Amino acid sequence: MFRKLWKKFWEPILGFSGFQWIIAVVMAALMWFIYLTSRRKIVNYETFKKFRHKPAIFVFWHGRSLMLSPIVCLGGMKSYAITSRHKDGRMMAKLQHLFGLRAIYGSSHNGGISVLREGIRVLRKGDHSLCISPDGPGGPSLRVQEGALYFAKMTGAPIIPVCFSAKHVWIQNRWDRYLLVYPFTKIKCKVGNPIYIDSKISPQEFEDKRKELEDLMVAQLRELDAEFNLYIVEQGLKTGEFKRAKRMGLEPKLTKRYH
């Protein structure tokens, strides 16, 4: 009963633009506090610097977006981020705006064609990149959907996988296992090498590249999480199925660590 009352109270308020800005400012302040009080290490930062003002497609898992925003901001990156049309997505777009990112609204399930057109326009302009979580906004988790590869195929822009992890964290009990970082910790971010997709690639080769990118991104996350001995997050979770299971107390629990 309390959960239903809280939901009826919270959701309408969350839809107001002014309230979204207040939340975004508070969240941005907390993110800066965490980032600036922690020890940071960025692996292969040279690739990030090389493509931060060029057409490139930076991809990261939906649950690993939090501490990438300060890195983007301090690096002076010129980029657009693809975000959901849902009110949660619009609030996140406001948060991203505070870190210098512009928004393209839509997803592979909602407004996919308009997102594809706008993303291609941005990349062909030549001075901005795209930021995409290929398993968002609703999963399956740690599964690469095809959007980023289509952008790369149609524009020639490289795909650059990015991931971060940290020593002291809270992995939220939700489909994407969203990683929240505590202050005064150690944060490590890894920037992958560029991956190019040929414009004349065959359907089978396209699928092979999609799987190659997915395996690379999963390995990137596993390597970083293993360094900090975090819980092992799963692949294949979907937001709708996870919420239904959670209501029945049947959602999967994180129980295994790397060491």
Strands laid side by side in the 129-132 sheet: 39-43, 186-191, 159-166, 57-59, 129-132, 79-83, 101-105
Instruction: For residue range 54-67, list pLDDT tens digits in order.
Output: 999 999 999 999 99
Distances (CA, A) of 42 to 149, 170, 189, 192, 194: 25, 21, 5, 11, 16
| Distance of alpha carbon 82 from alpha carbon 33, whole angstroms | 25
Instruction: For residue range 85-132, list pLDDT tens digits in order.
Output: 776 777 888 999 999 999 888 655 555 678 889 999 999 998 899 999
What is the mean pLDDT of the segment spanning 162-191? 97
Q: What's the fold here for domain 40-247?
A: Glycerol-3-phosphate (1)-acyltransferase (3.40.1130)
Entry field: residues in the chain: 259
Return phi, psi of residue 239, to 5°.
Answer: -60, -45
Return phi, psi of residue 125, to 5°.
Answer: -65, -35
Average pLDDT taken over every residue of the chain: 90
Q: Is residue 1 very low, low, confident or very high in pLDDT (cuts 50, 70, 90)?
A: very low
Token code pair at residue 217: 């991104």
Q: Burial of 199 by CB count in 10 Å (0-12 exposed, 13-18 middle, 19+ buried)? A: exposed
What is the mean pLDDT of the segment spanning 190-214? 97
